[in-house]
Amino acid sequence: MILGDVETVIGMVEAAVRLKSGYLDVEIAPLGAEMVRLVDKQGHDLLWNGDAAFWTGRAPLLFPIVGRLPNDQLVHGGVIYPMAQHGFARRRVFTLEERTSSSARFALHADEETRKQYPFDFELAVTYTLVEATLTIEAVVSNPGAVPLPASFGFHPAFRWPLPYGGTRADHRLIFEKAEVDPIHRPVGGLLSAAAEPNPAVDAVVEPDDAMFARDALIFLAPRSHHVRFGVPGEPGLEVAFPGMPQLGLWSKPGAPFLCIEPWSGYASPEDAPAEFTRKPGLSLIEPGTSRSFAMAVRWLPDVGR
């Protein structure tokens, strides 16, 4: 099912699945299996609200690509398929397959519409699990087909900037688990630039500001850290953990009151990438009859440490 009219949108909002613990309150919409609310126990909104004045996303799931392909086209076996930035999963309605008091599993399967963009069989299951102050999101991509399945997967959550705990945007810090010293990359025309630039982290700390995002996202192709903390030092904040996710993106728009912390497995096509999709750098090739898991977690913290 594809997003249709206004009534469809209203229906999907009403059908959002809610998970609640003593620390967090989470809502997930069937459209894109996207988290649309993340609220702390005092009622503070921590997730961006999708204001169209800046960006309508909140926490979209990126599949089967992260970033863009050259000319927004997937080329396979000499055939061209249209594929928009970040793929189609965020625009598809998922089926709620299982629900418990602390978890919800959504699923999307290949069909006639997906094959017009992506000529492969796949199954995508996304499970949200809330335990106390930690929300875990796990996506499992399965290959029911007869040939290897080329795919990428990414998370794209946008958090309030500033968070609702005091302090200005300028007071916020991104505190990495480890020192990040490797050069970063940027998108150029949506593709991964071959040029690199110095890492903005100083002693594992990034001080985000508008100028940092004037030339689009910051792309860490091989971060050393497996988690990063976000907030004003000494105030409540968030920790985003991404074990097993080999890339990380940071993105906002100058002046926008959100900051995206994006664990990825895959990235936009490099400027000099081969045309054939299955040769694209950063892809996972999932063998027939097997699956691959991609996961991240968001943990509410009483303070962000430093």
pLDDT higher than 50, residue 8? no
- pLDDT tens column, 154-212: 999 999 999 999 899 999 999 999 999 999 999 999 999 999 999 999 999 999 999 99
Dihedral sign computed on CA atoms, order 222, 163, 55, 195: negative
Element (H, E) at 259: strand 258-265
Q: Which residue has the higher pLDDT, 89 or 15?
A: 89
User: What CA–CA distances, in Å, run from 167 to 240, 262, 264?
Assistant: 20, 23, 29
Q: What is the pLDDT of residue 2?
A: 40
Q: What is the pLDDT of residue 303?
A: 86
Question: At residue 212, what are phi and psi to the nearest 5 degrees?
Answer: -60, -30
pTM above 0.85, yes or no: yes
Looking at the chain, the whole-number percentage of residues with pLDDT higher than 70 is 95
Pick the CATH number of 6-163+250-301 from 2.60.120.260, 2.70.98.10, 2.40.50.140, 3.40.50.970: 2.70.98.10
Torsion, CA 151, CA 134, CA 207, CA 219, rounded to 10: 0
pLDDT higher than 90, residue 235? yes
Looking at the chain, the whole-number percentage of residues with pLDDT higher than 90 is 93
pLDDT higher than 60, residue 222? yes
Q: Among candidates 180, 246, 173, 163, which has minimal Cα distance to 212?
A: 173
Q: What is the pLDDT of residue 306?
A: 59
For the beta sheet containing 227-231, the strands, ordered from the edge strand earlier in sequence to the opposite edge, are 95-99, 103-109, 123-131, 134-142, 291-301, 237-241, 227-231, 173-176, 205-206
Q: What is the pLDDT of residue 304?
A: 82
Q: Among candidates 147, 75, 80, 135, which has minimal Cα distance to 110?
A: 147
Q: What is the pLDDT of residue 118?
A: 98
Average pLDDT, the chain: 94
Q: Among candidates 155, 140, 150, which has minimal Cα distance to 98?
A: 140
Residues 6+ apart with CB under 8 A from 96: 17, 30, 104, 105, 106
- pLDDT tens column, 104-150: 999 999 999 999 999 999 999 999 999 999 999 999 999 999 999 99
Lowest mean pLDDT of 7-21, 140-154, 273-287, 292-306, name the range. 7-21
97: its two tokens: 């397959």
